[in-house]
Amino acid sequence: MFETRPDRDAEVVLVGRSNVGKSTLMRELTGHTFDTGQRPGVTREPNHYDWASEDFVISDLPGFGFMKGVPEDVREQIKTDVVRYVEDNAEKILVGILVVDGKSVIDIIDRHSGEDEIPHDVEMFHFLRDVGVPPVVAVNKMDKVDDRDQRLNDLCDRLGLYPPWKQWQETIAPISAKRGNLGALEAAVRHHLHEAGRDDLFQFF
């Protein structure tokens, strides 16, 4: 599984739970439509979008976490595959975009925070950092959130970043993928591309 990665030296990956809008975001970034479903877990293999003339690929990795109608062992396997993919390609991945649902992310994190449990979103954020992939948290569906600053501050708090969120603009990016409102994400991604000496990739963001 996951053997279809194009041979490219530079990559940006999208990771996140099912149904947070990763595929919509991918479509907005690339102008290319991928199979998306109303049912969670539709994307089981990575969607790669590579530009033939550039040594670069954007990959939308399968959603992880709870998926209605998907057995737990399958869910665990998907998450394992995602983690392994990122580990195997970490040296080539310039940015890991962790997509979360701005409306529900705090509730989901709090519901899954316990002595023996680390919420998937928090775990993935720290995992990206641990393998040397700069994470950018794309906080999607922010057009549906009233207490915007409070919500983003709370998210920073859950991720172990000191609020206020505005001091983390290279890491926390409020967006609305459906409305094409991606400015904060594009700025954050460009920050990390610049750090990696890849200003030539700005044309894609």
| 3 occurs within a structural domain | no
What 3-state DSSP class applies to 93?
A: strand
Token pair recorded at residue 144: 């549906």
Q: Summarize pLDDT for 55-113 with one digit per residue, the tens.
A: 899 999 988 877 778 888 888 888 899 999 999 999 999 999 999 999 999 999 999 87
**Residue 98 belongs to what domain range?**
10-204
Q: How far apart are CA 196 and CA 176, in angstroms?
A: 26
- What is the DSSP track for 33-44? -----SSTT---
CATH, residue 111: 3.40.50.300
Q: How far apart are CA 189 and CA 170, in angstroms?
A: 7
| 126 occurs within a structural domain | yes
Task: Name the residue with higher pLDDT: 2 or 90.
Answer: 90
Token pair recorded at residue 25: 């975001």
At 30, the pLDDT band (50, 70, 90 cuts) reads: confident
| 1 occurs within a structural domain | no
pTM for the structure as a whole: 0.93
| 56 occurs within a structural domain | yes
Q: Summarize pLDDT for 112-125 with one digit per residue, the tens.
A: 877 777 888 999 99
Q: How far apart are CA 18 and CA 24, in angstroms?
A: 12
